[in-house]
Structure 1
Amino acid sequence: MKKFLTLALITGFFVLNAQETANRFFYELTFKPKKDSSKLDKVMAVLDITKDKSIYRDYTMVAQDSILKVQVEAMQKSGQFKDLSKTITMPKFSEKVYKFYPSMKVQYTDRVANGFTPMNIGYNEEIKFNWKIDNQKEKIGDYNTQKATTEYGGRKWTAWFTSSIPFQDGPYKFSGLPGLIVKISDDGNNYSWELKGNKKVENFNEIPYIETVMPGGDGGKVVEVSREKFDKTLNDYKKDPMASARPYLKPEMMSQKMPGSDQTIGDMMKDAEKRMRDFYDANDNPIEISAAKAKK
């Protein structure tokens, strides 16, 4: 009976066209960006669940997608360049985490540069969380939850899940509990996610508009590499975001002005490099500290 009830609940979540609808869960992420500081920061993240996978990411760019679409189309129509970085809010995190159902195989992806073209790289991971479910229960927001603990990435985690939402999923890479994770945090309060709401997204498109118009235009296409190669590639990119583009930056090209703007290509590249360096310098406290130690 319980099995049939769970199936009925899952079916209820996908009462509309499953290929065009996603269930979006909003998580407030509170995190400590600097390991030698007690200062905390916050950002909204989302877990989008479709019939065959889930996608976890920073919600900042997704939330601005319709605004960016209007601005990009206006640029295309006028033929004049506009520096969108001055009008949009940049995300705190650039990675995406996919979990493919029913195996729950994880694919972790991020973006690096290949010359002037952004490129998605990612690694696959089979994770078997060793959850220890406790009898302790707690009301968190509107949800009746139960406690569970595990260890992952060099940290000890405490999660609170609800069986009233029958997805064995959660923020970041976490999954495998008999219900959706409502809250999860490590024992040092470096990272803590808490579910704040959910809604159905009709005509769901996992690729934001801005990614479809970037150079390359392949949106979600991922170049799969080993975890070791991924870590090295991303670490090298963080150290020098313009390394792959620099050989093409000839003086005559750098002095050219952007269409309809007084800004030169050289100015634009310098601004872009500063933004990337500031982005990566802002956080030296990774979620997975064991992976960070392995890179040293």
Structure 2
Amino acid sequence: MKTIISIFLLLGISISGQNYRFTYDFTFTRDSLQMDKTDSERMVLDITKKGSRFYSEDVAYSDSLMNAEFQKQIRGNNMNINISGIEQKGTVKLIVEKQYPKYETILINTLGGSIYEISDDRKMIWKIENETKKIGKFLAQKATTSMYGRKWIAWFSTELPFPDGPYKFHGLPGLIVKIESSNQSHVFELKGVKTLPKDYELKKQNSAFASSNNIAMDYKRYKKTFQNYLVNPVSSMRSMSSGGSVIKMTDENGKEMDLNKIMREEEEAQKKANAKINNIIELENLK
């Protein structure tokens, strides 16, 4: 207990009644055939009394800028919304929300223009090892599990008494400060800790494209949806068009563009990109 108290005093953290932001470096390999090529993104885990949210720092920032510009143009009665001038940063679009105390887990992801909210009630079975080591400032203990078609090695610290962690990972007697797949193609490592205001609340992602019509489903149905998306990446746009929805797109000069041509070009480009998707974090979704 003395160790825990001293660590939190050092960081200026008071456990009682506080909200926290933990930042992680996420290092990942997109192509299993090119393991030497890695990408990285700064991810954020916000923890409150009611639950947590895990998301990309850059994507959240870009979305907030786009939403502000979107709302500004609407207030100005602009009928041709244009937010192309805002640079989109970040590549990890997914968000994971956990609801305490049962740790009900929701993955929010966008495929082909549709936003999906995927509930996942699978239990994580951990094997806690005796091995310990320092991860950053914290003494951490080893644990292993098999989830999502991969084996994972985690390091959790009871000095941070939150049974949570990056992505969907949770259920250990302390915050997961590092977790990696057995082939090290996906690695999350804690890099920063700070307190948030006591009145901080988790809210839905503030995106210009957020909708109350997000598609809710369980992970089994989502797996089929994801596999269909890899083959038919613009199916949702085609469904909207064939269903009677009027979709118009204009170029920078206000000239209406050929939607069918746009969809054909988008489909071709996305199929090429999807063909290289072979090392996603939930590998079992490809099988």
Query: Could you say which TM-score interval applies, normalised by the shorter chain?
Result: 0.7 to 0.9
Separation in 2, partners of 1:45, 1:222? 23
Match of 1:208 in 2: 205
Alpha-carbon offset, residue 130 of structure 1: 2.3
- The answer to whether the aligner puts 1:48 opposite 2:74 as a matched pair is no
1:233 counterpart (225, 231, 240): 225
1:39-58: CA deviations, max 9, x gaps?
Answer: 11111122121212222223
Q: Which runs of 5+ in 1 are unaligned?
A: 17-21
Separation in 1, partners of 2:276, 2:203? 27
| Contact 2:129-2:142 at 8 Å conserved across structures | yes
After TM superposition, list the pairs within 5 Å mapping 1:1-296 onto structure 2: 12-13=14-15, 15=17, 22-38=19-35, 39-76=37-74, 77=76, 79=78, 81=80, 83-85=82-84, 87-112=86-111, 118-134=114-130, 136-202=131-197, 203-210=200-207, 213-214=208-209, 217-218=211-212, 223-249=215-241, 257=250, 261-262=254-255, 264=257, 266=259, 280=274, 283-293=277-287
1:137-183: CA deviations, max 9, x gaps?
Answer: 22222222222222223322221111111101111121121110111
Counterpart code for 1:31: F
Separation in 1, partners of 2:175, 2:90? 25
What is the SS of the residue equivalent to 1:61? helix
Separation in 1, partners of 2:249, 2:27? 43
Shift in alpha-carbon separation, 1:63–1:32, aligned structure 2, 3 A: same
What is the SS of the residue equivalent to 2:224? helix
Shift in alpha-carbon separation, 1:153–1:257, aligned structure 2, 3 A: closer
| Contact 2:114-2:236 at 8 Å conserved across structures | no
Separation in 2, partners of 1:280, 1:158? 28
What is the SS of the residue equivalent to 1:246? helix
Separation in 2, partners of 1:162, 1:191? 20
Q: Which runs of 4+ in 1 moved over 6 A?
A: 253-256
1:14-39: CA deviations, max 9, x gaps?
Answer: 535xxxxx422111110110011121
RMSD, aligned α-carbons: 3.5
| Contact 1:81-1:258 at 8 Å conserved across structures | no
Alpha-carbon offset, residue 281 of structure 1: 5.1
Counterpart code for 1:243: S
Percent identity reads 27
Alpha-carbon offset, residue 78 of structure 1: 6.2
Match of 1:19 in 2: none
Separation in 1, partners of 2:201, 2:170? 22
| Contact 1:153-1:290 at 8 Å conserved across structures | yes
Separation in 1, partners of 2:63, 2:282? 29
Q: Which runs of 5+ in 2 are unaligned?
A: none
| Contact 1:56-1:97 at 8 Å conserved across structures | yes
Separation in 1, partners of 2:103, 2:205? 23
Alpha-carbon offset, residue 12 of structure 1: 3.8
TM-score (norm 1): 0.76
Separation in 2, partners of 1:224, 1:254? 24
Shift in alpha-carbon separation, 1:257–1:96, aligned structure 2, 3 A: closer
Alpha-carbon offset, residue 84 of structure 1: 3.2
Counterpart code for 2:169: F
Alpha-carbon offset, residue 93 of structure 1: 2.7
| Contact 1:26-1:196 at 8 Å conserved across structures | yes
What is the SS of the residue equivalent to 1:245? helix
- Structure 1 stretch 162-171 or stretch 149-158: which is displaced more? 149-158
| Contact 1:132-1:150 at 8 Å conserved across structures | no
| Contact 1:82-1:261 at 8 Å conserved across structures | no
| Contact 2:162-2:174 at 8 Å conserved across structures | yes
Separation in 2, partners of 1:80, 1:12? 49
